[in-house]
Every structure is written in structure tokens, then in C-alpha cells.
């Protein structure tokens, strides 16, 4: 009987610890950018945007921006900027997700990659769904869930969060670097 009790406690503890193991970090922005642009320089700029810029970003994104402090990764070959990247950290349901958005100098999404996901993994966006964002811009209503980007069955909250974050990333790019800036 004592052996059964010990086995039961051990089993329950293993279930407890296995649920924590689903919350994990996958990679870093620097590793992703080095993989995409192996011969490029990556410069991190920490910016304090103005209240006016924050309002403009929120208006363009149709989504709130939580902070006026923004970190942007600028990818260069020599003196030429070849990409910008932004990590958006947001809540999906009750836990956070970190998503890297790589944007080319023309303001088009090149890559969307999940850096960390703290919800159960069955709700995480897969690579084929994230690939649907490639080439999307902020203009022309190109980032609308269930219209331009299909929903993910069983992961609607994740889909909403990433679509909203993609608009936010493109709005940040547009206000800070777009169209002659």
C-alpha cells in the first residue's frame, strides 16, 4: 500500500512539472536574424517615441501600444539597411507570447516567427500559417483576420493576437522609418 501511495505521489508530481515544461522559450531575435542574414550587421536601437508617434502607431495599427519604449533591430550590409525587426510581446489568453516580425525596407513583412509561447502548445501558430504574412503591408486592409489571413481552428485567440501584433509592427515601421524617413 505504501508503494502505491509513493507511486501515486510521484505520478502527480510528474504531471505538475510537465505542465510547467510547456512554457518555454524557443529562440532569440539575434539568432533568427543571423540565420536569415548571415553576413549582415545587426544593430539594436532602443527608442523612446513621442506621445504623438504613439497615437499615430495606435491609429494605423487599430491596436494599443503598451509602451513608448521600443526596441528595433536594424539589419545592415555595409551602410545599406536590408531589414528591420521588432519583437511584439502580448498576452494570448492568460499567458504571453513573443513574436518577431522582420520587415523589409519597402514596409513588407518578410518573416513572422514565434520566439516564445507560454500557452499550451496546441494553440501555437504553425510555420505554414505564419508564412501567410509574408509580403503583407499595412495598406489596403491586408491584415484582417478571416478575410486576408484565415483563422486557425482551435486557436482563435492566438490568431487574433498575431494579426493585431503584425499591424502594430508595421505601424511602428511606418511611423519611424517609412516613406522617406
Q: Tens digits of per-residue pLDDT, 24-35?
A: 457 899 999 999
Question: Residue 118: helix, strand or coil by DSSP?
Answer: coil
pTM: 0.84
Orientation angle between helical segments 156-177 and 51-61, nearest 10 degrees: 130
* Per-residue pLDDT at 13 exceeds 80: no
Three-state secondary-structure class, residue 151: coil
Q: In degrees to the nearest 10, what's the CA dihedral of 43, 49, 54, 56?
A: -80
The DSSP code for 42 is E
C-alpha distances in angstroms, 146 versus 51, 79, 109, 157, 163?
32, 40, 19, 13, 10
Give me the residue spans of the domains in the chain. 23-177
What is the rounded CA–CA span in Å between residue 155 and residue 165? Answer: 16
Q: What is the pLDDT of residue 54?
A: 97
Q: Sorting pLDDT into bands at 50, 70 and 90, what band is 141?
A: low
Q: Give 47-96 pLDDT, tens digit per residue.
A: 999 999 999 999 999 999 999 999 999 999 999 999 999 999 999 999 99
pLDDT in the model for residue 83: 98
Which has more confidence, 136 or 22?
136
Sheet holding 24-25, edge to edge: 24-25, 109-117, 96-103, 80-91, 69-77, 41-48
Q: What is the DSSP letter of 145?
A: B
Amino acid at each position: 500500500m505504501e508503494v502505491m501511495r509513493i507511486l501515486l505521489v510521484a505520478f502527480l508530481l510528474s504531471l505538475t512539472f510537465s505542465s510547467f515544461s510547456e512554457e518555454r522559450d524557443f529562440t532569440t531575435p539575434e539568432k533568427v536574424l543571423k540565420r536569415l542574414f548571415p553576413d549582415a550587421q545587426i544593430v539594436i536601437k532602443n527608442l523612446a517615441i513621442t506621445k504623438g508617434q504613439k497615437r499615430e502607431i495606435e491609429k494605423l495599427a487599430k491596436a494599443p501600444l503598451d509602451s513608448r519604449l521600443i526596441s528595433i533591430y536594424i539589419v545592415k550590409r555595409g551602410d545599406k539597411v536590408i531589414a528591420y525587426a521588432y519583437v511584439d510581446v502580448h498576452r494570448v489568453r492568460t499567458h504571453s507570447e513573443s513574436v518577431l516580425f522582420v520587415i523589409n525596407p519597402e514596409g513588407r513583412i518578410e518573416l513572422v516567427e514565434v520566439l516564445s509561447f507560454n500557452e499550451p502548445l496546441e494553440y501555437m501558430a504553425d510555420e505554414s500559417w505564419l508564412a501567410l504574412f509574408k509580403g503583407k503591408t499595412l495598406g489596403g486592409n491586408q491584415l484582417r483576420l478571416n478575410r486576408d489571413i484565415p483563422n486557425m481552428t482551435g486557436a482563435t485567440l492566438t490568431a487574433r493576437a498575431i494579426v493585431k501584433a503584425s499591424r502594430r509592427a508595421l505601424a511602428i515601421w511606418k511611423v519611424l522609418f517609412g516613406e522617406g524617413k
